[in-house]
Amino acid sequence: MSLATTRVVSCTRLASLSLCLFALSIVPAAAQDESLATNRFALGGEFKIKTSDRASKEDYARGQLGPGLLWRFGTPKKGWGFHWGLNWYAVKLERPIGGTVTELGELKIRPLMAGYGYTYLIHRYSITADVLGGYAIGMMNISDPAIAAYQRTLNVPSAYATATNTLVLKPEIGVWYDVNKKVYINVNAGYIMARPDVLVETIAGLDRRKARADQFVLKVGVVYSILRRRS
């Protein structure tokens, strides 16, 4: 991993942590006398920023950013508790083929995770820190540039790719801010660790390498309550 890439990833993590701490420091005085919203289900959108570390001998994922769907069930309760998450995602992998870094294709990670964490309530804020772990199904779609690179390098007619299943781990911290009884803002930062093997098969043999599908994810979003409990 280059020094420049290390600095970018480190700065992104530091900026994300600073954003969370800043969010906790701006509680408005007017919020202190209002109760939490009686939300049952809220739906909205979020914007995600994903960055990845790189390792010279591993396939590595590109950084990504873009919109996503966000939802919230009920209202948070203070204390320790179980948490769960799907956290399905896909990453674009790159691999050195014949001495040239080439887009290998899209790796899909489909985890089912559960874990334990603590939620702290302060005025309109709810802060949750937890650790999730589980098992993920891996699926790989090889790209046309990668097929062409293997054909050129190994003199083979074609190439096919698959991915193994893998264990996943995700420590995270999330903050919800109740703007009012219908609108909620969310900031979440977490690091997903997933290291499946990606196998590229040709008539010349099998090229099997560990894929670094880790993702540091920062999400900022807003939801609107569409189902509420009766007061």
Contact 138, 108 (CB under 8 A): yes
Taking only the tens place, the pLDDT of each residue in 30-61 is 334 344 447 889 899 998 887 776 554 567 66
Question: DSSP code of 76?
Answer: -
User: Per CATH, which fold does 3-29+37-228 belong to?
Assistant: Porin (2.40.160)
Range 135-145 average pLDDT:
96
Residue ranges of domains in the chain: 3-29+37-228
More reliable by pLDDT, 63 or 135 = 135
Contact partners, residue 19, CB within 8 Å, separation at least 6 = 187, 189, 218
pLDDT of res. 54: 59
Other Cβ atoms closer than 10 A to 55: 12
Least confident of 19-23, 157-161, 184-188: 19-23
Question: For residue 146, what is the enclosing H or E element?
Answer: helix 144-154
- pLDDT range class, residue 10, cuts 50, 70, 90: low
pLDDT (tens digit, 9 = 90+) per residue, 67-82? Answer: 888 989 888 899 999 9
Task: Kindly report the number of other CB atoms within 10 A of residue 132's CB atom.
Answer: 23
pTM of the model: 0.74
